[in-house]
Amino acid sequence: MKSKNVFFSILFILLFLASKGIAQNKKQGKATDKTVEQKVEKTKEQEEEEELAKIAKSFVETYTKFSQTKDKKSILDFMSEKVSAMLVNTNVQGTVQPFTSDYAGLITYLDKLIDSEDVALDYTLSKIARVAVVGEIGTVFYDAEYKIQRDGSYWSKGFETVYLVFKKEKGFWKIIHYTTLTIEDEKLRGDCYCEFFTSAGKGYIARTTIPSGKSYEAKLNTFSFVENIITVDGKVFEWKNKTEVYGKGAKNTTGVPAEDSLLGVAKTEEEVIALILKASLYTTNCANIKIRKKGKN
């Protein structure tokens, strides 16, 4: 009888331990299932972030090629028609110009690039700093460098930070907003500004502000007019019949004096000065000469 009691006691203990083990396994199983579900959700999020990063890279590549392709649709395909934009441009002089835009503004900008056949944009992705996706909204931060080329020469260089906001529309990621901070690092060619003063005798002193890379530089030149001959710092020009302006003593690649070179046409002494500055003295830096003011020295 005693042995039977011992037997049932041991059996009860074994059954109790077995039931406890089964309960623990079920609990662990649920925890494991939950962990797997979390891992699946994280993987899906990562996949969407990777997809968004690829779309952003594709957008940059398409924008880079736009100067050659002139394919406006290729850019607009990335955009929502409800897109908005904030753009902040800073030039080498430190001037900050903020402005806003939208879908219609983007189309106008692209049309201007298409019409400007002599302008080419060299745009390079430096890095994608961050990609994030929450539901149907995604964001991409990236840094890029740019060079603007015109008439075969570089006019300016710089870099920008871009913030793209994407939203899913009919299952496709579309840019719903973008913010760009553009900083001009070098200004190599562009508008030059001239102010000149009458000097003693028949002549002028011209002070010209020209782009010179990291900043603007002021240059002084003395123009002397004697009948139809103009001398500027040792260079000689002829103003024939007060219409055509020629550079005298131009030399070809062999160093032998060549025929006089026609710079252009000018009707006034002010126009002559602007023409010589642009076409001879600062042709590398100045695409246009803008006269600011004049006075007496």
Between 253 and 273, the more confident residue is: 273
Q: Are strands 244-247 and 153-169 parallel, antiparallel or unpaired?
A: unpaired
- What's the pLDDT band for 37 if we cut at 50, 70, 90? very low
The mean pLDDT value for 239-265 works out to 68
% residues pLDDT > 90 (the chain): 31
Say what the pTM is: 0.64
pLDDT of residue 27: 53
- CA-derived radius of gyration, the chain: 36
Name the CA dihedral angle for 76, 77, 78, 84, rounded to a multiple of 10 degrees: 40
Partners of 154 in beta bridges: 149
Average pLDDT over residues 161-188: 93
What is the distance between the alpha carbons of residues 79 and 59, in angstroms, rounded to a whole number?
10
Sequence length of the chain is 297
Winning range, highest mean pLDDT, from 23-32, 40-49, 208-217: 208-217
Which of 43-57, 100-114, 192-206 shows the lowest mean pLDDT across its residues? 192-206
Q: Quote the mean pLDDT of the chain.
A: 80
Tell which residue, 193, 194, 123, has the closest CA to residue 156: 123
In 3-state terms, what secondary structure has residue 116?
Answer: coil
Mean pLDDT of 144-172: 89
Q: Where do the domains of the chain lie?
A: 44-187, 190-296
More confident site: 215 or 265: 265
Stretch 108-112: mean pLDDT? 91
DSSP label at residue 259: P
Give residue 35's pLDDT: 47
pLDDT tens-digit series, residues 39-92: 555 677 788 899 999 999 999 999 988 888 899 999 999 999 999 999 999 988
What tokens does 136 get?
A: 């149907």
Highest mean pLDDT among 22-31, 128-137, 192-201, 205-214: 128-137
Nearest to 136 by CA among 174, 162, 179, 163: 174
290 confidence band (pLDDT: 50, 70, 90): confident
Record: fold of 44-187: Nuclear Transport Factor 2; Chain: A, (3.10.450)
- Distance of CA 4 to CAs 8, 9, 11, Å? 6, 9, 10
User: With 80 as the cut, is the pLDDT of residue 141 above it?
Assistant: yes
Label the pairing between strands 172-187 and 79-90.
parallel
Q: How confident is the model at residue 294 (pLDDT cuts 50, 70, 90)?
A: low
The two tokens of residue 83 are 């897109």
Could you please report the per-residue DSSP string of 25-78?
HHHHHHHHHHHHHHHHHHHHHHHHHHHHHHHHHHHHHHHHTHHHH--HHHHHTT
Distance CA 128, CA 143 (A): 6
Residue 202: pLDDT band with limits 50, 70, 90 = low
Of the candidates 238, 245, 294, 236, the one whose C-alpha atom is nearest the C-alpha of residue 267 is 245
